Amino acid sequence: RDLENHAAPSTAPPQKRPRETSDRSVTAAMARPSKPRKAQQQPRRSASGRGLLAGVVLAAVAALLGLRGRLAGVAERPSLVRTPCSRRDYKPAVPGCSPTGDACGRLVLDGFASAEELAGLRAIAARGMALGGGDGGPTILDLQSGALSWRDKFIDVWAAFNASGTPPFTTRDVAVYADVVRRIRSLAESTFGVSGLHLTAPTFFSRHSGDRPPKTRHDEYWHVHVDTLQYGSFTYTALLYLADGDVDFSGGRLAFVDERWERPLERVVPRPGKLVLFSSGHEHPHHVERVESGERLALTVAFTCDPEAALHDFLSRAVPEPE
């Protein structure tokens, strides 16, 4: 049931002040006779000039939106925050892979997944979760292990397909899932400057319903936790959001807190396609705020440096596509 608990100032050189013109000099200039000038044709603004102006405007708007997000304590722009790695985690260290020193951190990236990828992932979640559903708010679907929430326990989703007579997932159905996982792993390695990451368990879809009160303590997903403690093998954690925190549900923000597990450092509002990627140790205690209404849908993907904890074919139970 541990699855349910997750879910420098500017140094620019000084600019020259514009030349000031007094009223007296303006009057004198107007009084002096001037030679007639040939009428000059106003130059037309080129397409590249218009594009440059549009780019400046968009940059200004983005900066304003980013400032608004920072003032509200909510991450709204792609951002990478570097943090010192905890000394309690990532042992035994794997050279070239395990985070050390100041190499840990968290990345918030909007628009990682395309609309087509989001549609495919939502379809997988909906089809699998239709065969189950937790009583107390969270519903978990793990295609690798087969774990699917059913009332107050887990059942095997692949067995549920057989029992219900519903066709199981095919390799084509889950291809988008495998592609997204590969892209996240590549991003994790390039972002943190490591290599040799392996997918690890659990990797799962989670749905949190705001209209269902918790039935057991395992349904209380909003408690602060550390992934290396909760899951053991995690080195890097990725969360891909499939629903909108302003449209599909309210509440449910991801909150990173300080080392005392008290003061929020950053809150992330889920948006479809937004990816949050972070090192999984004690440098990143976090929790999901309680969903107040609607349904929050996300995909958790985790990576390890330990080859013995690797998942080599996590979608092997999918049925081959008929020829």
Cβ neighbours for 300, distance < 8 A, ≥ 6 positions apart: 6, 7, 202, 203, 204, 205, 206, 237, 238, 239
Strands 79-83 and 74-75: unpaired
3-class state of residue 94 by DSSP: coil
Cα 250 from Cα 156, distance rounded (Å) = 30
For the question of residue 296 being annotated catalytic, the response is yes
> Which residue in the block uniquely carries the two structure tokens 């709204």?
76
Could you say which DSSP state residue 174 is in? Answer: T
Cα 314 from Cα 304, distance rounded (Å) = 14
Q: Which H helix or E strand runs over 271?
A: none
Query: What are the b/e assignments for 104-120, b being 16+ CB within 10 Å?
Result: bbbbbbeebbeeebbeb
Alpha carbons within 13 angstroms on the beta-carbon side of residue 178 total 16
Single out the catalytic residue among 32, 68, 296, 317: 296
Alpha helices in the chain (DSSP H): 23-31, 47-71, 115-129, 157-164, 175-192, 227-231
Cα 311 from Cα 200, distance rounded (Å) = 5
Cα 138 from Cα 220, distance rounded (Å) = 9
Rounded to 10 deg, the angle between the 175-192 and 115-129 helix axes is 120
Q: 288 forms bridges with which residues in the sheet?
A: 254
Q: CB atoms < 10 A from the CB of 300, how many?
A: 21
Q: Which residues are catalytic?
A: 296
